[in-house]
Structures are given as structure tokens and as C-alpha cells.
A = this chain, B = another copy of it.
Amino acid sequence: MIRLSVPDPLAAGAKVDPSPEQARYLTAVMRLSVGHALLLFNGRDGEWRARVDQVSKRGCRLAVEARTRDQAAPPDLELVVALVKRARLETIVEKAAELGGRRVRLGTTRRTNADHTKVTRLRAIATEAAEQTGRLDVPEIADPERLERLLADWDPGRRLMFCDEAGDDPDQDWGGAGGRARPAVQALEKAGLGLGGWAVLIGPEGGFDPEERARLRALAFVTPVTLGPRILRADTAAVAALSLWQSTLGDWAPG
């Protein structure tokens, strides 16, 4: 069944006018007509069954009928990702929505080529992925900022899973609070869920600058992890890390 994210309050008997793009999708692409059912959510009121109530040349109107699911808070997991090439960044945003990330933060690093991206387009991708994956909210996509600034302002109660592409070089003593990077599942089990939530950090293609990396490893809220012996592209690392987090500390773990 079609699911749409809408900004409107949802309650029995409410009428919702979808955006022009959504109306076109419903009537022209999916060819819904009066009486057809669909599902709506707004991130606050749960999921509701609605029906097409009116169709006109200017758009359509939906009538909200009954709640199908209660609103539920997903695990408190965010993704911090360096700006990578557009296609891979779009994939990462899509995957973060499927894998239950609450928010995606975009960071520029020393080895990041781009310093801006089309955030509006990323928000549309996140919305569409949220509609298709069955979640009841749309992940927030924050405007890009410098990674240094983002870390300086970091809430120290939130742990940061740093996917350290360079892994454990036995000839280097990275020191710092994090110590040696462990395999991701083991590191997450040891760190535990905590009270302030988690974020996953994915670096740029080519990795972090050595100084950035040493600084990250020295931060008390950082848990460095390894993702196996092979080099992963940024989108692969993002999906792997989010899946491992959900399986260890999130809503894929045994109840």
C-alpha cells in the first residue's frame, strides 16, 4: 500500500491536501481515484489509513479514517558522514533512512573535495525512502558543517562509533581514550547502549587525514571500530556500520 509523509496533523475525520508533487504521484503515476486507500504518517501521530476523497485538476484531497500504527520512537541513532561524491552520498542518505537513522549530519573534512551539496534533494530522498521502508518518521538531514566544528559542539553524552578505515596499525600507538580499535560488534557490546544515544561516523573516500584521525581517537565519546580486513567504499561502510549497530544495540537485536 502507498505510504506518504505529510506535515498535517492526523486524526479521524481530518482532511489532508497533499503537495502538488504528491497529488501528481497519486493520481497521474499511481492512478488512484476517489475511494482508493493509502497510508499517511507525519512523525507525530502514528500511521493512518486514508482514502482519496476528491480529485480535481488542481490536486486531490485525502480523508483520514483510522490509525493503523501508534507512533513509536526509533532507537537514538544518528549518522555523521563526510561529503562524498553525489551518487554515493544519495545512496548513503537512502540507506540511513532504511536502516532507522534519526538524523544525518554532513561534515566537511580535510580530504573532502566538496563543501556543499543539494540538501533539498537529500531531504526528498530521505522522505521517499522513509515512505517505502515503513517507518513513521523521516530522518532529519542537517546542513553541512565543518567536521571540526561538529566535534567541538558535540554532546559528550552521545557516543560516536568511528569506523576507522585505517584499522589497527600495530606500529602506531594512537593512545587516547579509545585505545585500540576493536571489531565493531565487540566494541559496541563493550560500550553498551548508554543514555545519550549513538552516532556512526563515516569518513571521506581516502580516509581521514592522520591528524584528524588522531584527534578523533583521543575524544572520550569516540568508540573506534574496525569493519574487517578489506577497504570499503563509504556507502558500504555506512550500511555495514548502521546494520551492526542495529543488530547489537538497536531494534534488530533480540527483544
A interface residue numbers (CB < 8 A to B): 91, 94-95, 98-100, 132-135, 182-186, 226-233, 236, 239-240, 243-244, 246-248, 250-254
Contact = CB atoms under 8 A, between A and B. Distances in A.
A182 B230 contact: no
Contact of A243 (B134, B239, B250): B239
Copy count, this protein chain: 2
Contact of A228 (B183, B226, B233, B246): B246
A98 to B, nearest CB: 5
Contacts of A98: 230-233, 236
20 contacts: A95-B236, A98-B230, A98-B231, A99-B228, A99-B230, A99-B240, A133-B230, A133-B231, A185-B185, A185-B247, A185-B248, A185-B252, A227-B243, A228-B252, A229-B251, A229-B252, A236-B239, A243-B243, A244-B244, A244-B247
A252 to B, nearest CB: 4
Contacts of A134: 229-231
Residue with the highest number of chain B CB atoms closer than 10 Å, among A100, A183, A186: A183
Given A236-B95, A236-B98, A252-B226, A183 B133 contact: no
A58 B12 CA distance: 74
A132 B231 contact: yes
Nearest to A182: B254
A81 to B, nearest CB: 15
